[in-house]
């Protein structure tokens, strides 16, 4: 079946540091890939998505590129802010269009 593996957390960074959160997946066919973010006390929000190989999703300074050859969708941001502190989930929809999530990773950004 489909699965998503995220790097172990939590991650703590200083403001303006570079962020990479790794995500790899296993799926049949050609999945769509997503990053969702959950801010404290709020619901899951779509951060960005990519629907085919080599697509780059971007939003709020975050980027992720759909790499089919390495089955990866790593999330990056050049300069994190305190307001980026949240839980980040990588997810995919496969042939059955069911959304499968990773376990999530908590990011804390220090001033």
Nearer CB in complex with another protein: 92/109: 92
Nearer CB in complex with another protein: 103/110: 103
Closest approach of another protein to the CB of residue 41, in Å: 8
Smallest CA-to-CA distance from 19 within 100, 109, 97, 111 is with: 109
Q: Where are the beta strands (DSSP E) in 1-111?
A: 3-6, 11-14, 19-21, 23-26, 32-38, 44-50, 56-59, 62-65, 75-77, 86-93, 99-101, 105-110
Closest approach of another protein to the CB of residue 44, in Å: 4
H helices of 7-100, where?
A: none
Nearer CB in complex with another protein: 98/110: 98
Q: What is the sign, positive or negative, of the torsion defined by CA atoms of 74, 64, 36, 85?
A: positive
Closest approach of another protein to the CB of residue 16, in Å: 29
Closest approach of another protein to the CB of residue 43, in Å: 4
Nearer CB in complex with another protein: 17/93: 93
DSSP code at position 51: -
Interaction site with another protein (CB under 8 A): 4, 32, 34, 36, 41-46, 49, 89, 91, 93, 96-104
């Amino acid at each position: 079946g489909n699965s998503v593996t995220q790097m172990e957390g939590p991650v703590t960074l200083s403001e303006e540091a570079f962020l990479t959160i790794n995500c790899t997946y296993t799926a049949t066919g050609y999945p769509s890939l997503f990053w969702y973010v959950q801010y404290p006390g709020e619901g899951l929000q779509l951060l960005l998505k990519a629907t085919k190989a080599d697509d780059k999703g971007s939003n709020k300074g975050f980027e992720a590129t759909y790499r089919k050859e390495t089955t990866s969708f790593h999330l990056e941001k050049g300069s994190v802010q305190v307001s980026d502190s949240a839980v980040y989930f990588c997810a995919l929809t496969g042939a059955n269009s069911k959304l499968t999530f990773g376990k999530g990773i908590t990011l804390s950004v220090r001033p």
